[in-house]
Structure 1
Amino acid sequence: MPKHKLNRSAREQWAIDGFLIMKGVLSRTQIKRFSSEVDRLQRKYVVRNPDVQNSSGLDRRNILPESPIFHELIDHPATFQTVLDLMGPHIQLSMAEAILRPPDPDFKGYIHTDGGQALRHIRVTETSWPIQLKIQYFLTDVSRQNMGNFTLFPGSHLRPYPEGDAPINAHTPGAVQVCANAGDAAIFPHSLWHGVSPNKSRRARKTLIYGYGQLCFRTFDFDGHSADVMKQCTPRQRRLLGDLGSDWRPGAYFYSPADQEKVMKGPRRRKRI
Structure 2
Amino acid sequence: MIVKIGVLTEQQKCQWKNDGYLILKGVLSEEEIEKLTTVVNQMDEEHRKQPSSNGSQNESDVKPYAGLNKLNIIGNSDIFIELIDHPATFPIVLELLGPFIQLSMSQAMIRPPNPKNKGFAHALHPDGGQAMQRIRVDNDSLPLQIKIQYFLTPLATPENGNFTVVPGSHHRPFPAAQLGNAESPHNTEAVQLCVEAGDAAVFPHALWHGAASNRSSYARKTLIYCYNHHCFRAYDYKEPSPELLERCTPRQRRLLGDIGEWQPGSYFYSPADQEEVMTDPTEDKT
Same fold per TM (> 0.5)? Answer: yes
**Letter in structure 2 aligned against 1:61:** L
SS of the residue corresponding to residue 136 of structure 1 reads: strand
**Letter in structure 2 aligned against 1:222:** Y
Separation in 2, partners of 1:158, 1:41: 37
Separation in 2, partners of 1:99, 1:129: 27
1:48 positional shift: 4.5
Instruction: Please identify, of 142-151 and 98-107, the stretch whose mean Cα deviation from structure 2 is larger.
Output: 98-107
Match of 2:139 among 114, 123, 126: 126
The higher radius of gyration belongs to: 2
Report the equivalent of 1:186: 201
Report the equivalent of 2:76: 66
Identical aligned residues as a percent: 51
Which runs of 5 or more structure 1 residues have no equivalent in the other structure? none
1:108 positional shift: 3.7
Which runs of 5 or more structure 2 residues have no equivalent in the other structure? 52-59
1:78 positional shift: 0.2
Report the equivalent of 1:136: 149
Report the equivalent of 1:14: 16
Separation in 1, partners of 2:140, 2:19: 13
Alignment length, in residue pairs? 269
Report the equivalent of 1:86: 96
Instruction: Please identify, of 203-212 and 214-223, the stretch whose mean Cα deviation from structure 2 is larger.
Output: 214-223
Report the equivalent of 1:211: 226
Separation in 2, partners of 1:173, 1:47: 40
Match of 2:87 among 77, 93, 108: 77
Q: TM (normalized to structure 2)?
A: 0.91
SS of the residue corresponding to residue 120 of structure 1 reads: helix
Separation in 1, partners of 2:42, 2:172: 39
Separation in 2, partners of 1:271, 1:194: 38
The alignment's C-alpha RMSD in Å is: 1.5
Runs of 4+ residues over 4 Å off in structure 1: none
Match of 1:23 among 8, 12, 25: 25
Match of 1:5 among 7, 14, 26: 7
Report the equivalent of 1:159: 172
Instruction: Please identify, of 7-16 and 92-101, the stretch whose mean Cα deviation from structure 2 is larger.
Output: 7-16
CA 1:165–1:207 in structure 2 vs 1: closer, same or farther (change >3 Å)? Answer: closer
Separation in 2, partners of 1:229, 1:146: 38
1:164 positional shift: 2.0
SS of the residue corresponding to residue 73 of structure 1 reads: helix
1:30 positional shift: 0.1
Separation in 1, partners of 2:126, 2:156: 24
